[in-house]
Amino acid sequence: MSFNIITSFNRNIFKLFLKCFPVKKNKIIFNNFCGQGYGDNPKYIAEELLKRSNHLDLVWMVNDLNEAFPDGIRKVLASSKRAGYELATSRIIICNVKHALSFKKKKKQFYIQTWHGSFGLKYIEKDAQDKLTPGYLKKTIADSKNIDLLLSSSNWQTEEYKRAFWYDGEILEKGFPRNDILFNISKKRIENIKKELNIPLNKRILLYGPTFRDDLSINAYNIDLKTIKEELEIKTKEEWVVLVRFHPSIHFYANLFKGSFIIDVTSFPDGQEILAISDVLITDYSSNMIDFILMNKPVFLYASDIEEYKKERGLKPVYFELPFDLCQNNQELIDAIRKFKKNLYEIKLNNFRNKYHSFDDGHSSMNVVDYIIDKIC
């Protein structure tokens, strides 16, 4: 008990100490999934900033200092006191996870919460508060009070922020910077990513990207990837490889699936690059499906535990209006792949888009950085 008291006392003294340091106008600090490397919305904002200016001090909070980063970005260990100093002296704070940062925002600091998912299909934050712990609620509400700007990728997401994020501040409706690559990725970049992952250039890619379960159960991940791959090869008369990417919250499931045709890309830092090189996505309740349809590519839903999931987390009515085949077992998924017709799928997508207004257009990074530079200058 005495150790905890001393630790808490020292932590409070350190926070008071940090108040003495002034905010540096040209410093911007980034946090991606609590230190999990160079990716998501923060990455694409940083890359656009690097193009625009060489006088900015860009700092990235990481769990692994050995991870490679572009020139022009300094790394700091997320759990270190140095990170506390960098955070306390940054003019702009950019983060993609609620209450991932423990800090008392100063008057001259500006906190941009980019969030990490397009419009949610499951209930989150205030909409799911009866399923969240008191500790989480306390932290996430406090975090919302710190936020100066939220980034929105759609009209539905804006409404979700207003309703469920305990937030009534400014929302920038310019899309998600991370989705720019889904519009703009070059053939050369696709080839380079494939080479990095040891994927033959002639093979097509199926991505299996499920979300997490609150109880961390693996029962729902009972998909028959081998048979699914074979069905795709029969249908397309081409060779396929399967990528598996779990949600960051369950990164420890990496390598759950075995097979010479399977590559686990859970630890690959940039999930949007994985989406961009993939030809087909199979997911369950993850909002990655909303990003994927920006490329007009096929999505299939494999939700073998849907009845349990509805009770556990809850699914919004729109989930059952999505333009994708909803499959609850492997045979249903196989049948959906066999019957898939591109022209009918595109009609469904267009009907869905008439309800869902995306702000993503391939220029989100530029628009967000325009806003940031205006705040700094």
Task: Quote the crossing angle between the two packed helices 225-236 and 330-339, to the nearest 10°.
Answer: 10
Range 74-79 contact pairs with CB under 8 angstroms and sequence separation of 24 or more = 78/31, 78/34, 78/35, 79/35
pLDDT value for 2: 37
The Cα 157–Cα 318 span in angstroms is 13
The Cα 203–Cα 272 span in angstroms is 19
For 51-87, the pLDDT digits (tens) are: 998 899 999 999 999 999 999 999 999 999 999 999 9
Say how many residues make up the chain: 377
> Is the model's pLDDT at 7 over the cut of 70?
no
CA dihedral over 328, 243, 347, 295, signed as positive or negative: positive
Report whether CATH 3.40.50.12580 matches the domain 186-353.
yes
Q: Say whether 186-353 and 15-175+361-376 share the same fold.
A: yes
Instruction: Compute the C-alpha angle 141/214/337, nearest 5°.
Output: 120
Listed residue (3, 178, 34, 22) closest to 100, CA to CA = 34
Q: Which CATH fold would you assign to the domain 15-175+361-376?
A: Rossmann fold (3.40.50)
| Least confident interval from 71-75, 112-116, 255-259, 288-292 | 255-259
| Least confident interval from 14-23, 30-39, 128-137, 355-364 | 14-23
Which amino acid is residue 240, in one-letter code? Answer: W
C-alpha distance from residue 323 to each of 144, 215, 298 (Å) = 33, 29, 10
Q: Residue 300 corresponds to which tokens in the numbers above? A: 């299939």
> Is the model's pLDDT at 3 over the cut of 60?
no
The Cα 342–Cα 319 span in angstroms is 21
pLDDT value for 101: 85
List the domain boundaries for the chain. Answer: 15-175+361-376, 186-353
Q: For the chain, what percent of residues have pLDDT higher than 70?
A: 95
**335-362 average pLDDT score:** 96
β-sheet bridge partners, residue 136: none
DSSP string for 223-263: --HHHHHHHHHHHHSS-EEEEE---GGGGGGTT-S--TTEE
Spell out the residues 6+ positions from residue 193 whose beta carbon is closer than 8 angstroms to its own. 273, 274, 276, 277
Higher-confidence residue: 16 or 90?
A: 90
> Is the model's pLDDT at 4 over the cut of 60?
no
For 143-188, the pLDDT digits (tens) are: 999 999 999 999 999 999 999 999 999 999 999 999 999 999 999 9
Which amino acid is residue 169, in one-letter code? Answer: G
| Least confident interval from 4-8, 47-51, 63-67, 360-364 | 4-8
Q: What's the DSSP call for residue 112?
A: E
pLDDT band at 1 (very low <50, low <70, confident <90, very high): very low
| Least confident interval from 1-5, 102-106, 129-133, 261-265 | 1-5
For 195-245, the pLDDT digits (tens) are: 999 999 999 999 999 998 878 888 999 999 999 999 999 999 999 999 999
Asked whether the beta carbons of 76 and 61 are under 8 A apart, the reply is yes
> Is the model's pLDDT at 9 over the cut of 50?
no
For 311-328, the pLDDT digits (tens) are: 888 899 999 999 999 999
The Cα 244–Cα 255 span in angstroms is 8
β-sheet bridge partners, residue 363: none
pLDDT value for 103: 80
> Is the model's pLDDT at 362 over the cut of 90?
yes
Asked whether the beta carbons of 327 and 301 are under 8 A apart, the reply is yes
For 23-54, the pLDDT digits (tens) are: 999 999 999 999 988 999 999 999 999 999 88
pLDDT band at 13 (very low <50, low <70, confident <90, very high): low
pLDDT value for 80: 93
